[in-house]
């Protein structure tokens, strides 16, 4: 564990180019230095599943205590010693006789996916700056946001900011997978520590760059539901020299062919309708017309068919199911006794996994194909598109990046926001960190974040915290 005083941090030379200091979208130079140093320190701590995040949590807690946070307002807790989650509370002014409003919870996670050094062109557990990027495991997912939140807590404390409600920051472990998911554990054992009016999830959203231009700053309000089904056909089998027409592989293949040609119906909700409406503002011609047409009731199905040529738009319009794994047979000279397929579905937030299973049976059209749900889906409702949150993000985005639009999104993948929504917390995923949508390296080789995008994200979150919390 290592701690450093704020004064010492000011002496650290900023690795980013000096030109960044002149931009009005960036934090003051001293907080650029601080954010860089915290990010460097976090990247150099291996927080993959095998190692856990406790050491990183301890290092951050030491920094916050050196900056003036009381040890009583910081807790490192978890189901096992190496699986520590850091909960920090920035307290509001003394309560008056009236009931205090609930805190706002800011969420990020400390753990990262595995990284094999031999696969990378740089050391994944060292922060490397080159060509205008910071490289390292977690630079984009999502130690940059941990550094962001910690930097801003220290900045607000140094400025004497007194919030009108408590700020709670939760930095958790095992979001990327494992048996000790921090948010789930906290909800079960220490819900009081994270109880809040709503949640800002920095592990979602993120500004989008297309062809070198900043275009959109999404706010995630919902996520699709992860459901996995097994398709199984069994048969007595026999010798391959005497084939029968009733073949387990053929039956399964016929069913999968039907599934490949099937689309679930178009279903839009408040979020996805708002998504296509705002997105249409940046389009023209047929694409713009189609985006507006699918938002009508009923949706224009011809427009939906054209939009569905994009995998992202298709996944936004409907529940999707796709075959991802196959297994069949037991010997090269024997008729197959079993054929299995794994079908991965992403359900719309209000979908029923059992209803989807029944629909799959109907589509396959063969009673010999047994369909079984093999996981326990995390059912999670969509959060309402909250006007005050959207307005705060829009005002800050407009001030920092004129012309960039803000729009609600339903992510087609999963974050810990689903755990919190399931528990009754409205969750809004936003970070203000822009990335090129055609070069997303999270979980991959040479993960990176643009240097300027990192520092701009720090400034964006500083403004967002002050906007939604307000001070006195």
Name the domain boundary from 373, 393, 427.
Answer: 373
**Residue 433, domain CATH:** 3.40.630.10
**Residue 306, domain CATH:** 3.30.70.360
What's the whole-number mean pLDDT along residues 328-344? 97
Read off the tokens for 171: 């930095």
Q: Establish if 33 belongs to a structural domain.
A: yes
Q: Establish if 285 belongs to a structural domain.
A: yes
Q: Is-contact 198 389, C-beta < 8 A?
A: yes
Residues 264 and 337 occupy one common structural domain: yes
Residue 108 has pLDDT above 60, yes or no: yes
Residues 359 and 264 occupy one common structural domain: yes
Rounded to the nearest angstrom, the gap between the alpha carbon of residue 343 and the centroid of all alpha carbons in its chain is 23
Q: Establish if 364 belongs to a structural domain.
A: yes
Q: Establish if 408 belongs to a structural domain.
A: no
Residues 19 and 130 occupy one common structural domain: yes
- Helices 451-469 and 29-43 sit at what angle, rounded to 10 degrees? 110
Q: Establish if 135 belongs to a structural domain.
A: yes
The neighbouring-strand residues paired with 159 are none
Rounded Cα–Cα distance for residues 194 and 207 (Å): 27
Exposed, middle or buried, 144 (CB in 10 Å: 0-12/13-18/19+)? Answer: buried
The pLDDT tens digits of the residues spanning 240-258 come to 999 999 999 999 999 999 9
The pLDDT tens digits of the residues spanning 26-56 come to 999 999 999 999 999 999 999 999 999 999 9
Exposed, middle or buried, 54 (CB in 10 Å: 0-12/13-18/19+)? Answer: buried
Rounded Cα–Cα distance for residues 452 and 444 (Å): 21
Q: What is the pTM of this model?
A: 0.89
Return all residues near 391 (Cβ < 8 A) that are at least 6 apart: none
Residues 200 and 228 occupy one common structural domain: no
Phi, psi dihedral angles at 151 (to 5 degrees)? -55, -45
Domains in the chain, number = 2
Q: Establish if 385 belongs to a structural domain.
A: no
Residues 338 and 433 occupy one common structural domain: no
pLDDT at position 393 is 98
Return all residues near 244 (Cβ < 8 A) that are at least 6 apart: 238, 335
Rounded Cα–Cα distance for residues 409 and 220 (Å): 5
Residue 238 has pLDDT above 60, yes or no: yes
Q: Which domain holds residue 43?
A: 6-204+415-469
Report the relative pairing of strands 198-201 and 427-429 from DSSP bridges. Answer: parallel
Residues 121 and 244 occupy one common structural domain: no
Residues 200 and 249 occupy one common structural domain: no
Q: Which of 293, 264, 300 is nearest to 276 (CA)?
A: 293
Question: What's the chain's length in residues?
Answer: 472
The pLDDT tens digits of the residues spanning 444-459 come to 999 999 999 999 999 9
Q: Establish if 397 belongs to a structural domain.
A: no
Q: Establish if 267 belongs to a structural domain.
A: yes
Residues 277 and 348 occupy one common structural domain: yes
Rounded Cα–Cα distance for residues 455 and 446 (Å): 20
Residues 68 and 185 occupy one common structural domain: yes
Residues 115 and 235 occupy one common structural domain: no
Residues 50 and 178 occupy one common structural domain: yes
Return all residues near 261 (Cβ < 8 A) that are at least 6 apart: none
Residues 158 and 230 occupy one common structural domain: no
The pLDDT tens digits of the residues spanning 167-187 come to 999 999 999 988 899 999 999
């Amino acid at each position: 564990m290592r701690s450093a005083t704020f004064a010492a941090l000011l002496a650290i030379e900023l690795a980013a180019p000096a030109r960044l200091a002149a931009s009005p979208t960036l934090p003051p130079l001293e907080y650029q230095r601080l954010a860089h140093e915290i990010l460097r320190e976090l990247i150099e701590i291996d927080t993959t599943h095998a190692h856990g995040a406790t050491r990183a949590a301890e290092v951050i807690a030491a920094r916050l205590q050196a900056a003036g946070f009381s040890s009583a307002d910081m807790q490192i807790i978890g189901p096992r010693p190496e699986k520590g989650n850091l909960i920090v509370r920035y307290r509001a002014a003394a309560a008056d006789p009236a009931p205090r409003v609930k805190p706002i919870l800011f969420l990020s996670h400390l753990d990262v996916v595995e990284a094999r050094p031999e696969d990378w062109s740089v050391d994944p557990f060292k922060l490397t700056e080159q060509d205008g990027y910071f490289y390292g495991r977690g630079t984009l997912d999502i130690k940059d946001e941990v550094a962001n939140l910690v930097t801003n807590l220290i900045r607000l404390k140094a400025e004497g900011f007194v919030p009108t409600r408590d700020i709670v920051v939760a930095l958790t472990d095992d979001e990327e997978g494992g048996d000790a998911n921090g948010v789930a554990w906290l909800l079960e054992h220490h819900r009081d520590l994270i109880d809040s009016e709503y949640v800002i999830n920095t592990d979602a959203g993120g500004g989008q760059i297309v062809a070198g231009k900043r275009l959109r700053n999404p706010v995630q309000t919902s996520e699709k539901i992860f459901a996995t089904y097994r398709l199984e056909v069994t048969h007595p089998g026999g010798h391959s020299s005497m084939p029968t027409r009733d073949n387990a592989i053929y039956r399964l293949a016929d069913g999968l062919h039907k599934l490949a040609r099937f689309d679930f119906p178009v279903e839009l909700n408040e979020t996805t309708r708002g998504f296509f409406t705002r997105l249409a503002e940046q389009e023209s011609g047929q694409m713009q017309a189609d985006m507006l047409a699918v938002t009508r009731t009923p949706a224009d199905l011809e427009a939906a068919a054209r939009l569905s040529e994009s995998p992202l738009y298709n996944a936004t319009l409907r529940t999707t199911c796709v075959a991802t794994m196959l297994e069949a047979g037991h010997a090269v000279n024997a008729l197959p006794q079993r054929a299995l397929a794994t079908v991965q579905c992403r359900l719309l937030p209000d979908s029923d996994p059992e209803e989807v299973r029944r629909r799959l049976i109907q589509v396959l059209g063969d009673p010999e194909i047994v369909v079984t749900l093999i996981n326990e889906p995390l059912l999670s409702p969509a959060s309402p598109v909250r006007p005050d949150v959207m307005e705060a993000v829009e005002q800050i985005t407009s001030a920092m990046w004129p012309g960039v639009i803000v729009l609600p999104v339903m992510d087609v993948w999963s974050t810990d926001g689903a755990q919190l929504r399931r528990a009754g917390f409205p969750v809004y995923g936003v970070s203000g960190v822009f990335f090129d949508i055609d070069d997303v390296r999270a979980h991959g080789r040479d993960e990176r974040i643009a240097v300027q995008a990192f520092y701009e994200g720090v400034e964006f979150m500083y403004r967002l915290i002050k906007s939604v919390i307000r001070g006195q």
